[in-house]
């Protein structure tokens, strides 16, 4: 029987990793086990891909971002040399679908693979593989949970759980709104809670909410929305999020803590910020500072972000709420000069 091998490429193999590559365990869930059995998972941060794992007729799925695409293409070559059918997906593939084909892949999956991956596997087994499978943007209630039974928690510091996909912003540097769209899609509460509780039972006490934007619809975001229809949608999303926070608080052990990523606008909504800390037990977050100047924020298409002293106050409010801030700053925007880089280096606000 042909088997499926899913590979997360890496530039360096260390034997451990901070964060689980969520796609690996979600696509494992999407793999039709009744036809191929459980997939073999290879995270190259943990162990290098061994071509000897592959037999002729096997299906090798590779997920790539721009940062690891070269490592991924090396795996394409190795797997093809063993007679495997190779299918490539991921963010890089979604934006540049022709490139993996030019590099030797038999097929590509673009967008979310939750639904179309099983069809790609079936087509490969029946020798009817298409060149492209368009996963698109799967609705929140159709997004799959991960196969955490295939996880060895000894190799990772954090497991990743997604609660919402998509982001209403369109920052110039970001791929999220291009690949996952600007309409936030909330996953089903029961699926999220099932995953989190399973991870707790497997011994994890810290997780990452791998959301593109954990606060897509706070009061500040709603207030600056010009479209009345979109404003109503965001208001509905905010209420859905707060109800989810309540259910999570009632259903998840209190000693499981989380890290996430969010925008500065979370401080515009005290109820939301408080619920993040008290109900979701978020203790740290990556926050996009992006630039110290308004010109830089204009380049980033993020003029709604505060600068200067207002940014200091915003970070302080997050810290006062009990959430440690890890700032994300872009060096190399079109407006950056030698002087702006020197200013960036001189700032020791955080």
Structure tokens at 124: 């490969």
pLDDT for position 350: 46
Buried b (16+ CB within 10 A) or exposed e, 83-110: ebbbbbbbbbbbebbebbbebebbbbbb
pLDDT for position 299: 94
| In contact, 90 and 63? CB cutoff 8 Å | yes
Phi then psi for residue 84, to 5 deg, are: -85, 155
pLDDT in tens, 117-138: 999 999 999 999 999 999 999 9
Q: Which CATH architecture has domain 4-140?
A: 3-Layer(aba) Sandwich (3.40)
pLDDT for position 347: 63
Beta strands in the chain (DSSP E): 4-8, 17-19, 40-43, 59-63, 85-89, 107-111, 132-136, 156-161, 164-165, 185-186, 206-209, 257-262, 282-290, 324-329
Contacts of 274 (CB under 8 A, 6+ apart): 321
pLDDT for position 95: 97
Q: Which residues of the chain have pLDDT under 50?
A: 350
pLDDT for position 342: 83
pLDDT in tens, 185-220: 999 999 999 999 999 999 999 999 999 999 999 999
Beta strands in 250-349 (DSSP E): 257-262, 282-290, 324-329
pLDDT for position 77: 98
Quote the pTM value. 0.94
Cα distance from N-terminal residue to C-terminal residue, the chain: 56
User: Among all chains, which residue has been given the structure tokens 């059918």?
Assistant: 85
Q: For the chain, how many helices (H) and strands (E)? A: 14, 14
List the CATH code of the domain at 162-346.
3.30.750.210
Q: Could you tell me the residue ranges of all domains in the chain?
A: 4-140, 162-346
């Amino acid at each position: 029987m042909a088997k499926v091998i899913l590979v997360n490429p890496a530039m360096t193999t260390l034997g451990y990793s901070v964060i689980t590559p969520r796609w690996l365990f979600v696509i494992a869930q999407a793999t039709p086990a009744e036809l191929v059995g459980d997939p073999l998972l290879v995270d190259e941060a943990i162990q290098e891909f061994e071509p000897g794992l592959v037999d002729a007729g096997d299906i090798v799925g590779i997920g790539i971002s721009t940062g690891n695409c070269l490592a991924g293409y090396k795996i394409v070559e190795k797997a093809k040399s063993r007679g495997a059918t190779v299918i490539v997906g991921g963010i890089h593939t979604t934006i540049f679908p022709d490139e993996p084909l030019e590099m030797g892949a038999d097929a590509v999956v673009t967008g979310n693979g939750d639904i179309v991956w099983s069809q790609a596997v079936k087509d490969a087994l029946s020798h009817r593989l298409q060149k492209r499978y368009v996963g698109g943007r799967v609705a929140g209630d159709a997004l799959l949970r991960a196969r955490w039974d295939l996880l060895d928690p000894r190799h990772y510091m954090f497991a990743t759980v997604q609660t919402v996909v998509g982001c209403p912003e369109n920052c110039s540097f970001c791929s999220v709104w291009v690949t996952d769209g600007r309409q936030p899609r909330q996953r089903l509460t029961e699926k999220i809670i099932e995953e989190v509780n399973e991870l707790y039972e497997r011994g994890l006490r810290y997780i990452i909410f791998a959301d593109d934007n954990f606060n897509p619809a706070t009061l500040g975001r709603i207030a600056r929305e010009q479209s009345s229809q979109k404003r109503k949608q965001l208001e509905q999303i905010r209420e859905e999020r707060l109800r989810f926070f309540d259910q999570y608080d009632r259903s998840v052990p209190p000693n499981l803590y989380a890290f996430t990523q969010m925008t500065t606008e979370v401080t515009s909504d005290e109820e939301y910020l408080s619920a993040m800390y008290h109900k979701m037990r978020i203790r740290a977050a990556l926050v996009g500072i992006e630039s110290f100047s308004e010109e830089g924020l204009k380049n980033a298409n993020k003029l709604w972000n505060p600068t200067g002293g207002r940014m200091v106050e915003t970070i302080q409010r997050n810290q006062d709420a009990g959430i440690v801030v890890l700032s994300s700053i872009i060096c190399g925007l079109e407006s950056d000069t030698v002087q702006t880089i020197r200013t960036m280096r001189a700032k020791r606000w955080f």
